[in-house]
Amino acid sequence: MSSHEEQPHQEKRQRKEEASPISCLSDDLVLNCLARVWRSDHTALSLVSKSYRSLVASPDLYKIRSLIGRTETYVYVCLRIPTSVPSLRWYILRRRKTLDASDLVPIPSLPSQPVEASSVVVLDSSIYVIGGLIDGEKRTSDVWSLDCRTHVWHPVPSMEAARAYGAAGVVDGKIYVFGGCDVHDDCGEWMKRRERFTTRRGKVNGGQGTVDKLEGKPRDWCMIDNLLFCLSRNGTIFWCEPDELDLHGTERVMNTEEVKGLSSLNQYLFLSKIVHFGDQILDRWEQKRIMHDMAPLKMSKYGRIHTFEGLHPGARMCSSGGNIVLFWDRPKLGHLHIWSAEISLERLQGGEIWGNIEWSNIVMPADESFQEPKKVLHSVSVTL
Residues 240 and 135 in one domain: no
Q: How confident is the model over 185-212, as pLDDT tens digits?
A: 443 344 445 555 555 544 444 333 333 4
Question: Which of 37, 67, 97 marks a domain boundary?
Answer: 67
pLDDT band at 326 (very low <50, low <70, confident <90, very high): very high
Is residue 383 situated within a structural domain?
no
Look up the domain containing 129 and give its range: 110-208
Stated length of the chain: 384
Q: What is the mean pLDDT of residues 100-123?
A: 88
Query: Contact at 8 Å (CB) between 168 and 130?
Result: yes
Residue 105: pLDDT above 70? yes
Query: Contact at 8 Å (CB) between 104 and 92?
Result: yes
C-alpha to C-alpha distance for 365 and 338, rounded to whole angstroms: 6
Residues 244 and 321 in one domain: yes
Residues 323 and 249 in one domain: yes
Residue 261: pLDDT above 50? yes
- Range of 156-160, 286-290, 328-332, 338-342 with top mean pLDDT: 338-342
Q: What is the mean pLDDT of residues 9-17?
A: 51
Is residue 294 situated within a structural domain?
no
Query: Contact at 8 Å (CB) between 303 and 267?
Result: no
Q: How confident is the model over 262-283, as pLDDT tens digits?
A: 999 988 988 888 776 566 555 5
- Give every CB contact of residue 241 below 8 A, 6+ residues apart in sequence: 227, 228, 255
Is residue 283 situated within a structural domain?
no
Helix axes 59-67, 27-34, angle to 10 degrees: 60
C-alpha to C-alpha distance for 241 and 243, rounded to whole angstroms: 5
Question: What is the structure's pLDDT at 218?
Answer: 53
Q: How far is CA 70 from CA 22, 25, 65, 66, 173, in A?
A: 22, 22, 5, 6, 22
State the first-to-last Cα distance of the chain, in angstroms, to the nearest integer: 45
Query: Contact at 8 Å (CB) between 177 and 190?
Result: no
Question: Which of 192, 208, 224 marks a domain boundary?
Answer: 208
Question: What is the structure's pLDDT at 291?
Answer: 59
Residues 270 and 203 in one domain: no
CA dihedral over 163, 169, 175, 177, signed as positive or negative:
negative
Greater pLDDT, 15 or 332:
332
Is residue 298 situated within a structural domain?
no
C-alpha to C-alpha distance for 114 and 78, rounded to whole angstroms: 12
pTM above 0.85, yes or no: no
Residues 238 and 335 in one domain: yes
Question: Which of 155, 175, 208 marks a domain boundary?
Answer: 208
Query: For 12, which DSSP code?
Result: H
Residues 100 and 126 in one domain: no
Question: What is the structure's pLDDT at 204?
Answer: 46
